Amino acid sequence: MRALPKTLALLLCVNSYYVLGADVQSETTPQLANTYINDAILPPMEPWHGDSESLLMAADDEWATPFERDGLKTSPSYVETFAWLDKLIAQTDKLKKVSLGKSPQGRDIWMIIASDNGAKTPESLAANNKPTVMVQAGIHAGEIDGKDAGMMLLRDIVLGNKGALLEQANLLFVPIFSVDGHERSSQFNRVNQRGPVDMGWRTTANNLNLNRDYAKADTLEMQHMLIAINQWQPDLYIDVHVTDGIDYQYDVTFGYNLAQGLSPASFRWLDKQYRPFVEASLQSQGHQPGPLVFAMDNRDMSKGLSLWNASPRFSNGYGDARHLPTILIENHSLKPFKQRVLGTYVMLEATLKLVGEQATTLKSAIKQDSYRYSERLTLTWQSEQQKAGWDFKGIDYTLEDSVISGEQVVRWSGKPKLYKNLPVIGNTLADIKVNRPSTYYIPPQWTEVIGRLELHGIRMTRLEQSKSISLSQYQFSAPQFARQDYEGRQRVTAEVSSKVVTTQLPAGTVKIDTRQPLGDLAILLLEPQSPDSLFQWGFFNPIFTRTEYIEHYAVEPMAAKMLAEDPSLQAEFDKALQDTAFASDAQARLRWFYERSPYYDRAYLAYPVLRN
């Protein structure tokens, strides 16, 4: 059959979102536009080829992954993914498959264990004394590059020439984290992203974002993941995403929390050992790596770039808090799926090589951070301009007046442009700090809070009998509740003061010593001024409800008796009356006496978590 003229082939692509004929498989023909249904509304794309294309297996090979078999533009369904992986696992004793637990819709969240000794339990994996890398794909199920890259890499470890990777390191691979979101698949899900053809949904079946859930751990999926982290104890955690936002030349960007965070030794290892090695590996295979890139203003690159110090609701911020070196990969959404998958493969392979070679220095950094026990911890950060700017490999653009929106819109040209020495603004200026408490005490009735802390792996003991003790307790005023729900929670902030109280702790009260490897995480979860504290996530909202009252007919005689018996109280009341607003507010005057009476609810606006 005579080949179609290229112009006709391209025309047909617009309707079918496939490149026809030899353009699908050829290693010499540049990848063309109009591959995906949304190409017509996305910025122009430069053709890409790199040495990493040699990693691809022919589509008709028995061991081609579904991605390779179907034109490098699709990603398999949940059932197809694990049918292929089960077939691979059956070929070797180096791969095992375990379920981390079931999703709300009843799907298993599978994890593949890859090790030289065929480990299938945390104990047998630890017994081989090798460092362990944990890789999860599909926390946002449409951002699925890591799944297809990991399938290829496992295939090449078992059947190809990459078996040596397991001689010095173990791999834990979760192909699909958000399994229910993965199956809410459509070609219309991620309009800003070039493939795969059908993409999963960003959130879970409960419409919750897993990469906002590490601290509060509301989702069943996240609870399974935290248990897995505690059981399998990885030494490096990789979370694979695809980013949105501006256009730029980098195809694989990645980052981790900063030197100012809670794991400075891990930061130094990641920045001085990991990044140079991985970036060199990517560049050698034809990819353009870069740091995590976020613009301060997507329509004005001259305003600079954002440097991100994440809080524990995010994977990288959570890793920083629990001293688990964590890498956030953000592949560039405007690069083709094929390019992103191959870049991820190269990065994962390089990671296993380096972790195997640098196991001692990596474990040493983790240990330094885990037993650092800083006397002062920063809870919140303010933004500041960094001392050094960045040379940014961007894409040129123009601004046009839009008749649709009535404002200016960016038109990316697709042409590379180097932006020299752009300013960098990061949340690196310490704001609210607290002294490290030696101990927290949580009354036993706060079962949900205690359960979440146990889920995170924080060590705790319980008082076997009641105990009278003087402790510090936070008092709240002027609570501010969020005006709308966020991630299934009504968030709250409040003004905070502290006083020493003598209290009787009941038997069963939980005691948490902060001098433990997860002590810093406990502090960020329990200090109410921490943005990802369980307090701000609404776990303690019942303390804002008043449940006992006193009638006005009872306050009046009680107040008169109080004033008659206590001249100093009379003087205090007279001073309060100098405030005209107070003096003219009958409710406020009566409440003033109620709050000073023995009838007042002392638990109202008092934080039930006490600190020593």
Three-state SS for 193-223 is CCCCCCECCCCCCCCCCHHHCCCCCCCHHHH
**pLDDT tens, 28-79?**
343 434 578 899 999 998 889 999 999 999 999 999 999 999 999 999 999 9
Section 350-365 average pLDDT: 98
Options 1.20.1440.230, 3.40.630.10, 3.30.1490.20, 3.40.1440.10; CATH of 51-373: 3.40.630.10
Which stretches within 70-121 are classed as H helix? 78-89
Q: What does the pLDDT read at residue 547?
A: 86
| Burial class of residue 386 in the structure, from the number of CB atoms within 10 Å of its CB (0-12 exposed, 13-18 middle, 19+ buried) | middle
How many whole angstroms separate alpha carbon 87 and alpha carbon 85? 5
Cβ atoms of 207 and 178 within 8 Å: the answer is no
Three-state SS for 164-178 is HHHHCCEEEEECCCC
Q: Kindly give the interhelix angle for 567-576 and 552-565, rounded to the nearest 10 degrees.
A: 120
At residue 602 the predicted structure's pLDDT band, cuts being 50, 70 and 90, is confident
The token duo for 22 is 């030899």
Structure-model confidence comparison of residues 359 and 549, the more confident one: 359
Q: Please list, residue by residue across 141-163, b when 16 or more beta carbons sit within 10 angstroms of its beta carbon and e when fewer do.
A: bbbbbbbbbbbbbbbbbbeeebe
- Would you say residue 21 has pLDDT above 50? no
Q: With residue 355 as reference, give the H or E element that holds it.
A: helix 337-357
- Would you say residue 17 has pLDDT above 80? no
Sign for the CA dihedral angle at 190, 194, 197, 203 comes to negative
SS3 396: strand
Section 183-189 average pLDDT: 95
In the chain, where are the structural domains located? 51-373, 435-544, 552-596
**pLDDT tens, 257-295?**
999 999 999 999 999 999 999 999 999 999 999 999 899
Which stretches within 237-299 are classed as H helix? 264-269, 275-284
How many whole angstroms separate alpha carbon 274 and alpha carbon 262? 18
The token duo for 1 is 């059959």
- Specify the DSSP class assigned to residue 151: H
Phi, psi of 592 (to 5 degrees): -55, -45
Q: Is 400 a catalytic residue?
A: no
Section 449-472 average pLDDT: 98
**pLDDT tens, 102-155?**
999 999 999 999 999 999 999 999 999 999 999 999 999 999 999 999 999 999
Section 386-402 average pLDDT: 96
**What CA–CA distances, in Å, run from 1 to 4, 11, 18, 205?**
9, 19, 19, 47
**pLDDT tens, 568-582?**
999 999 999 999 999
Phi, psi of 101 (to 5 degrees): 140, 175
**pLDDT tens, 520-559?**
999 999 999 999 999 999 999 999 998 888 899 999 999 9
How many whole angstroms separate alpha carbon 327 and alpha carbon 497? 37
Which stretches within 285-418 are classed as H helix? 315-322, 337-357, 359-370
Section 288-312 average pLDDT: 96
The token duo for 198 is 């059908």
Lowest mean pLDDT among 2-16, 71-85, 220-234, 481-495: 2-16
At residue 493 the predicted structure's pLDDT band, cuts being 50, 70 and 90, is very high
Section 399-418 average pLDDT: 95
- Would you say residue 6 has pLDDT above 80? no
Q: What does the pLDDT read at residue 46?
A: 83
**Residues near 564 by beta carbon (within 8 Å), at least 6 away in sequence:** none
Q: What does the pLDDT read at residue 34?
A: 56
**Residues near 418 by beta carbon (within 8 Å), at least 6 away in sequence:** 391, 392, 393, 394
Catalytic residue among 330, 448, 487, 551: 330
Q: How many CB atoms lie within 10 A of CB 571?
A: 11
The token duo for 324 is 């688990």
What percent of the residues of the chain are helix, what percent strand, and what percent coil, each to the nearest 5? Answer: 35, 25, 40
Phi, psi of 110 (to 5 degrees): -85, 145
Average model confidence (pLDDT) for the chain? 93
- Specify the DSSP class assigned to residue 29: S
At residue 244 the predicted structure's pLDDT band, cuts being 50, 70 and 90, is confident
Cβ atoms of 440 and 609 within 8 Å: the answer is yes
Q: What does the pLDDT read at residue 546?
A: 86
Section 428-451 average pLDDT: 98
Q: Please list, residue by residue across 444-463, b when 16 or more beta carbons sit within 10 angstroms of its beta carbon and e when fewer do.
A: eebeebbebbeebbbeeeeb
- Would you say residue 14 has pLDDT above 60? no
Section 96-106 average pLDDT: 98
Q: What does the pLDDT read at residue 30?
A: 36
By C-alpha distance, which of 122, 131, 123 is closest to 364? 131
Q: How many CB atoms lie within 10 A of CB 603?
A: 12
**pTM strictly above 0.95:** no
How many whole angstroms separate alpha carbon 154 and alpha carbon 158? 6
